[in-house]
Structure 1
Amino acid sequence: MNKYLFIFILLISYNSFSQLNFKTYFKKAENGFEFLADNNEYCPVSVEVDLELVNLSTSNGNFKTYLIPARTKDFVITTLKAIKAGKYKYNSKTRYNYGDFATKVKDTVAVKDKDTISVKKKDTVSNQEYIYNLPYKKGKKFKVSQGYNGAETHQKKNALDFLMPIGTDIYAAREGVVIKVVDYNTKTCITKGCLEYNNFILIYHSDGSFSEYSHINTNSAKVKPGYKVTKGQLIAKSGNIGWSTNPHLHFEVFKQEIIKRETLKTKFKINDGTEASVYLEENVKYQRKY
């Protein structure tokens, strides 16, 4: 008789953020189980795993956050092994979201990269040192109607609102991979309840940060998840969709955590791009001549 025949298994799994194309699951293995993940997103996903084990050992610890690479199937998070013959059980709780929670946002660049501040050697350059393009067409000039830590909807948030007419062409401020596109919503209102109706494009950058372009016009996206976009590429048209008081583009760069975002200030090229890059200020108009 198999000494592991009479085994009692209890599985409780709480998965947050079910909108992600991501799942965790168990598969029977010799004298135990493998705990696996499928990540069908176009960026890494971090998963926080909390295991309660009886008569089982785990190869990687009971409570830990794991990084699952983009477009990965059957990724082994940990292996559970029976300690001795008899009953065993396990409870699992998982929470996950986009990005790498453990790694500091950084980017490896060459010394003379025209879009970064100069460094002494090839080194890591923080997101704050990367120089972004203004997210609109050459020759255009728009006002920042709400800046970092703005009084209306940007309290304790590093985000920018560019006041612009509906249908204005929106260009990628930085190169990256498109992670998510929502442009099917049509509803607009001035209360926070309309947040769920925001149309937006989410782009993942090489340093682990993300940028979001919000309130884009309905059916205006020019890109899809998985597209690799270049800096200055047309990606959508501006709108007034979702939680919005007037037509504008909401732009923010952030590092994702399990529940919240850590929004980041970003420097931009302005005018013809030859002068020093700046943090944009509220109620100032900025022209793009490059």
Structure 2
Amino acid sequence: MQLRVFIIIAIVLCSYLNAQKKPSYLFFEINNNKTKVFAHNKLGCPTHVKVLHNTTKSLKSYNVKAYEKKNILSFDGKDTITFLKDYQFKMRYGPVKYISNYDTLYNYALPFLKGKRYKIIQGHNTKFTHNGLSKYAIDFRMNVGQTICAMRDGVVVGLKKDSNKGGRNKKYRSDGNYILLYHEDGLFTQYIHLKKNGVLVKNGDSVKKNQPIGYSGNTGYSTEPHLHFGVFKITKEGFTSIPYLLDSIPSKKYRKGKYAYKR
């Protein structure tokens, strides 16, 4: 009986502590009886932190520059557990006011090696997966292990490399290995379905246009080995794909069944 009670108490305590778990990007500085709350953006792109008070439902947002440690809140006392219980925090890509102007004439490179040729298996605005926020993505059929290159100079701000899961079921959507690059005009490029351990870069790395950054695969929600990629801006809905120039050709002209050759 005592053991059972102990187990129940332990479960309740663990649940409580997990509920109050501090986000990894937050840290506290305590001086006398004053506590300052800092948000540390460890990414090479701007972010913003949304802060919701659970009682008043007041919502505030704070811009945090790349690699910045910013004091976003202060409170009297040292009770950080109660503080975390009273607030919810979410860090998001991009500034509070999302960019509206960017380089629409930038000429992106094809995301593979010179001398290579790949067939397009899905272009813009398809009913299968290129719709909604991803409607301007492009898919190239690639055998597993083909070299993927950066389409533009940028900084690595996100990646996944440890998955070996994939298939036609949507349950695999979050299992795709990927690389996310941030670019100087506030846009992002993303490269998805990479092979397990097929990422050649680390978060924070600066990369050059045409630099090899990974290897193609078949992870995530994928019907066959291929590379899914696109150019994205940040809106209130999140990542939203946009049309772009790819090897001097408007991306809308990359249609299913055609080939792209990198000279």
Do Structure 1 and Structure 2 share a fold, with TM-score over 0.5? Answer: yes
TM-score by length of 2: 0.77
In the TM superposition, what whole-angstrom CA distance separates every residue of 1:57-83 from its partner, at most 9, and x where no partner exists?
A: xxxxx532211122233x11144589x
1:213 Cα deviation after fit: 0.4
Partner of 1:285: 259
In the TM superposition, what whole-angstrom CA distance separates every residue of 1:161-187 from its partner, at most 9, and x where no partner exists?
A: 111222211110111001122222112
- Return the alpha-carbon distance in structure 2 between the equivalents of residues 49 and 15 of structure 1: 15
**Does 1:196 find its partner at 2:174?**
yes
1:30 Cα deviation after fit: 7.7
Partner of 1:195: helix, strand, or coil? helix
- Uncovered stretches (5+) of structure 1, i.e. residues with no partner: 1-12, 55-61, 83-88, 107-125, 271-275
- Return the alpha-carbon distance in structure 1 between the equivalents of residues 46 and 194 of structure 2: 25
Partner of 2:115: helix, strand, or coil? coil
Percentage of pairs with the same residue: 31
**Does 1:103 find its partner at 2:76?**
no
The match for 2:62 among 63, 66, 72 is: 66
- Describe how 1:249-288 pairs up with structure 2 within 5 A: 249-257=227-235, 260-269=238-247, 279-283=252-256, 284-288=258-262
**Does 1:229 find its partner at 2:202?**
no
Q: Is the 8 A contact 1:14 1:94 kept in 2?
A: no
Partner of 1:133: 109
**Does 1:167 find its partner at 2:167?**
no
**Does 1:39 find its partner at 2:41?**
yes
- Return the alpha-carbon distance in structure 1 between the equivalents of residues 55 and 36 of structure 2: 14
- Return the alpha-carbon distance in structure 2 between the equivalents of residues 193 and 25 of structure 1: 34
Partner of 1:8: none
Partner of 1:217: helix, strand, or coil? strand
RMSD of Structure 2 on Structure 1 (CA): 2.9
- Return the alpha-carbon distance in structure 2 between the equivalents of residues 170 and 52 of structure 1: 44
Number of residue-to-residue matches in the alignment: 235
TM-score by length of 1: 0.71
Corresponding letter in the other structure for 1:286? A
- Return the alpha-carbon distance in structure 1 between the equivalents of residues 106 and 68 of structure 2: 29
1:189 Cα deviation after fit: 0.9
Corresponding letter in the other structure for 2:43? E
CA shift in 2, pair 1:178/1:135, >3 Å = same
- Return the alpha-carbon distance in structure 1 between the equivalents of residues 213 and 244 of structure 2: 20
CA shift in 2, pair 1:43/1:255, >3 Å = same
Partner of 1:237: helix, strand, or coil? strand
- Describe how 1:106-185 pairs up with structure 2 within 5 A: 106=101, 126-156=102-132, 157=134, 158-185=136-163
Larger displacement relative to structure 2 (238-247 or 25-34): 25-34
Q: Is the 8 A contact 2:243 2:250 kept in 1?
A: no
CA shift in 2, pair 1:227/1:26, >3 Å = closer
- Return the alpha-carbon distance in structure 2 between the equivalents of residues 51 and 25 of structure 1: 18
- Return the alpha-carbon distance in structure 1 between the equivalents of residues 25 and 93 of structure 2: 13
Corresponding letter in the other structure for 1:42? G
In the TM superposition, what whole-angstrom CA distance separates every residue of 1:29-88 from its partner, at most 9, and x where no partner exists?
A: 68854332122223222111234789xxxxxxx532211122233x11144589xxxxxx
- Return the alpha-carbon distance in structure 2 between the equivalents of residues 235 and 46 of structure 1: 27
CA shift in 2, pair 1:14/1:269, >3 Å = farther
